[in-house]
Structure formats: C-alpha cells, structure tokens
Amino acid sequence: MARIVSRRRFVLGAALASGAALLAACGQVAAPTAVPPPTATPSAAGAATKPAAGATTQPAAGATTVAAAAGAPKATGVIEITFASHGDQSEQDFYKKAVERFNQKQSAIHATFQAEPTNNWQKYLTLMAGGTMYDTFRNEEKRVAEFVERGAQLLDVTDKAQKDKIDKEDFPPTVWDEFFWKGKMYGFGHDLSPAVIFYNRKLFKDKGVPPPPTKWGDPKWDWNAFVDTAKKLTFGDGPQKVFGFVGNTWWVYMHPWIWSNGGQIVDDNGKLTIDQPETVEAFQFYADLNGIHHVMPVAADMTNGPAQLYESQRAAMYINNTSYTIRARQLKDVDWEMAPYPTGKTGKVFDRVPNNLCSAYAKTPHPDAAWEYLKHMASKEATFDARGMPSRISVARSDDFLKRTPNQNWQLLVDAGPIRRTEPRTPYFNLFDDTLRAAWESVQNGNKTVKDMIAEMKPKLTKILEGQG
C-alpha cells in the first residue's frame, strides 16, 4: 500500500506570492536533490547520554492499540493514519478542519484527528517508548531534541524532503533550522505563534489611554511606558477590580523581556545563564508588576485563568501567543487588538515565536502517508487559517492573511519573524520546563522571591542540562 502513496503528490503551496513552486496533486516525483540543511547546526545543549529522570518505557494505560489501529488499511486499500494535537476547543476545531481538508483533497489516505490534553508531552514520550504513538502529531521546536535523543522516536524525513525538493526559501531561516536536529530533518512547518500583548480597545478608550504602538521596537513603548499604561488601566476593588495587565504564567513568556534586556536563561552554547544580572533584572521587573505596582493579579484573582480575566473585561492587556487569535475571533463582547512587547533597555525588542511544526512517529507503519500529511500541514490551504501566523513567508505576506479580519493588525505577526529568537533546545526540555515552571509560578504567587528562585534553580537546572537531573 505504501507504493500507492509514493506515487501520489499533494499540494504543498498554491500560487505563492514569493513564486514558490506548486506541487501537483498527482505529478511525477522530482529527481532527488540535497535537502537544504539548517543554516547552522543546532547546539545540542546538554547532549543526551541517558534518559531524563523519571523517564518511562511503559505505555500509558489504555494506549496500547493507538498506532496499530491507526495504521491498519481498510479493505478498500485506503491507508489510515492519525494526527494528534492539544489545545482548547477552539484549537481542536481548527485542527479538525485541517484534517478534513486533507481527506477531501485526495482519497488514498484517510487521516483521523485525535484530541489530546494540554500537557501531553510526557504522554507522547510514554506512547513512543511503548510503540503505540500516533502516526503524526503537532510538535514544537523545543521538543524535537528530546524526542530524537530519547530513543530516536521521530521519523527522519530528510530523504523525503530531498525527493520532493522542499523550498527552504519560503521559511524564515531560524524556522527552517528548527526542523532539524544534528543535521537530520524531523518535522515540517505549519504555523508560528508570536507572543503579543492582546488589549481591550474599549477599556483604553474609556480611560482615555492612548493605545500601544502598532510596530515592534518603538522607543517610546519602553518598560516605563508599559508600567505607566498599566497603572492607568487598573481600577476598582474586590471581585470587580480591573487590572491593567495579566500575563501568561509560563516562564517561556519571559524570554522577550529577558532578551530585550540583554540577558538569556540558556545561552547559545547550552549553558545556563539564569543568574546573569540582565536576566535577574527582567525577572524582578515582571514580579514587581504585582508586588510593587499592583497592576497584575495573583493566582487568587484569576481562578479560571488569565484568559478568562481578559475575556470578562477585567484585564486591559493580556500576553499570550497568537494561537489565542482563534479564540479571540470568537469573542463577541471584547473589542480586541494586538500590540508588541515593550522595547528593552538595549533599545531593541525580541520575541518568542513558537515554531509549531508537525512530526511523524518513527515507527509509523506508513511513513510515506505520514510524510504526505506533513506536507499538507505545510500547504497554503492548511496554513492560511493557522492558529497564529503561517510558517510559509509567502502565505504570511499574502493579502488573504493580512486582511483575515478587518480590525486587527496581522502585519504585527509577520514583523515578528525577523526579531524571533530560538528558545532552549535540549534533550531534557521536559524536566527543565517542569522544574522552572513551578519555581516561577511560586514567585508570581508571592510565595518566593526572585533572588531565592535563582539561587534554587541554578544548581538544579545546570544538572538537568548536563543530563544529571
């Protein structure tokens, strides 16, 4: 059955503005060429020598037949594969549509969508170790190293990309690089999710506060201006209090603040630098938004999460990545818009722009079918309605995307591409993440100081990066 798939070609991009090649649905396979390698070999921060602490080799309960059932072809000869992803209901609806488009445009392969809980990464590692992982899934660039190093669990698609002459020029250089680990390609692009400040136009207008700028790097939109704006938008008391700002509690959203201040959590060589003065200063600035300026709530003020506080119009500004735009476009009572992170003391601004690539399981029974699905997820029709911004430059710059809604600044997302920086890529990211996440949330809840967090985290995170966690 795999030969059926290898003869069939699917659309990779349609009439792209940059002139990227259109791959015909049933065209002849191109002669192999060398797939463009990453522009710089990714640093294997803390290269794996053993599994991270707590790693398991047993499949999750109730997950013993997922891959087998998904890979079994029907009597008609149609190849069955699965695609898994996580997210809230709005994101699940988006992915269902992407799967439906794939099934509608061809008949040799049938994909089934599998919804997963939000915190699914450890489960994926467990399913992979047990040989029961889904055929394809929505991955993240910072997870690739761990999936590869802990048992070679991702399908190497380097040869398939060579055969299909995949065009690297239609992807930002840093995005293309993140499809690779140690010179091998383990995923293909779908969308990018720039972190931005969502704000409520009505609250700004009612308080007579000028809206934030529309472009990254405005020198007038610095940290002091941000605090001043948040103070003007904080009013009321008790359960009806409106906060000027509500943040995302995950530590990765600190990266733009830290980078723009001249610091890093992990440097480009994989060394922990969380105790750099510039890094500590950024953490302290953020903690002071609640502890000193009182413009940001603590956990007790947002029992249903920061998004709910923003959606109930009790927060004027809210930081999230732009996968939230799926949900935002469904809001009827919030006049929402997007703004950039403030400019740091370096006079620059950088952004975290998660690379939501799609990967295939190394042991999928149908690698050719899985690759066809990855190509579909990187195609124009699949990326146009991307949760945030299409990973293809030509689609992101198209009028169709830039005018997807009339009242929002979608150009802001495109402009985040040149200022994106790569987040830590380590084979131990899962443990690193869990450890720092808990400590940083404790600071935000007022239970720990930044100084104490740094002192506690430095030895723990250093050991994790060295594979000794």
Q: Where are the domains of the chain?
A: 2-24+39-191+357-421, 195-352+428-465
> How far apart, in Å, are the Cα atoms of 414 and each of 328, 382, 388?
18, 17, 10
Ordered DSSP codes for 169-231: GGS-HHHHHTTEETTEE--EEEEE--EEEEEEHHHHHHTTPPPPPSSTT-TTSBHHHHHHHHH
pLDDT at 386: 74
C-alpha closest to that of 377 among 157, 163, 177: 157
Top CATH class of 195-352+428-465 equals alpha beta
pLDDT at 55: 37
**Does the CA dihedral 18-22-23-25 come out positive or negative?**
positive
User: What does CATH list as the number for 2-24+39-191+357-421?
Assistant: 3.40.190.10
Per-residue pLDDT, 68: 34
pLDDT value for 302 = 85
Domains 2-24+39-191+357-421 and 195-352+428-465 share a fold: yes
Confidence (pTM) = 0.83
**pLDDT digits over 265-296, tens only?**
999 999 999 999 999 999 999 999 999 999 99
User: In which residue ranges of the chain is pLDDT below 70?
Assistant: 1-75, 385
Cα–Cα distance measured from residue 73 to residue 424, given in angstroms and rounded to the nearest whole number: 39
Nearest-angstrom CA–CA distance, 389 and 329: 14
CB-based contact 114:92 (threshold 8 Å)? no
Question: How far, in Å, CA of 66 to CA of 408, rounded?
Answer: 41
In three-state secondary structure terms, 415 is: helix
pLDDT at position 37 = 53
The residue whose two tokens read 């840093």 is 174
Question: What length does the chain have?
Answer: 469
